[in-house]
């Protein structure tokens, strides 16, 4: 089955740039999406179709997708950005959805 691979954890100081990667063989052909999940809450979409931000998501969140790797960048991370982040995409058929294992972002 298709897999998306993320680092388990990333740590930055407030104001620094955080980068979270996601690798998958189908990413050259399929869009990547990113979800933020804070403790005890439902996930929130922060990036769709590789690089677009839904309304209400701060400009410091950006995304890119090149080759087999997608990247979520948080420029000037805030303490409130501390959360688990999941990449998401589909398999080659476009019908089966898949999540990466998640990355715990620590901002302190």
Partner 1 sequence: EVQLVESGGGLVQPGGSLRVSCAASGFSFRSYWMSWVRQAPGKGLEWVANIKQDGSEKYYVDSVKGRFTISRDNAKKSLFLQMNSLRAEDTAVYYCARPSAFDREGGYWGRGTLVTVSS
Q: Dig out the tokens for 97 from the structure.
A: 């959805």
- Rule CB under 8 A: is residue 61 a binding residue for partner 1? no
Binding piece for partner 1, criterion CB under 8 A, among 16-24, 36-44, 58-66, 69-77: 36-44
Q: Which of 48, 75, 76, 106 binds partner 1 (CB under 8 A)?
A: 48
Distance of CA 66 to the CA centre of its chain: 14
Instruction: Tell which one of 7, 73, 98, 106 touches partner 1 (CB under 8 A).
Output: 98
Of 43 and 76, nearer to partner 1 (C-beta) is 43
**Cα separation of 25 and 22, whole Å?**
10
The reply on whether position 42 binds partner 1 by CB under 8 A is yes
User: Which CB atom, from 71 or from 89, has the smaller least distance to partner 1?
Assistant: 89
- Report the SS3 class of residue 81: helix
89 belongs to the binding site for partner 1 (CB under 8 A): yes
Q: Where are the beta strands (DSSP E) in the chain?
A: 9-12, 18-23, 33-37, 44-47, 61-66, 69-74, 83-90, 97-99, 103-107
């Amino acid at each position: 089955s298709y897999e998306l691979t993320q680092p388990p954890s990333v740590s930055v100081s407030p104001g620094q740039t955080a980068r979270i990667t996601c690798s998958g063989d189908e990413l050259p052909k399929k869009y990547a999406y990113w979800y933020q999940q804070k403790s005890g809450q439902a996930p929130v979409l922060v990036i769709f179709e590789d690089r677009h931000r839904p309304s209400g998501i701060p400009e410091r969140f950006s995304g890119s997708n090149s080759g087999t790797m997608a990247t979520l960048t948080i420029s000037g991370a805030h303490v409130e950005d501390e959360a688990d982040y999941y990449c998401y995409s589909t398999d080659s058929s476009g019908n089966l959805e898949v999540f990466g294992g998640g990355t715990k972002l620590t901002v302190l």
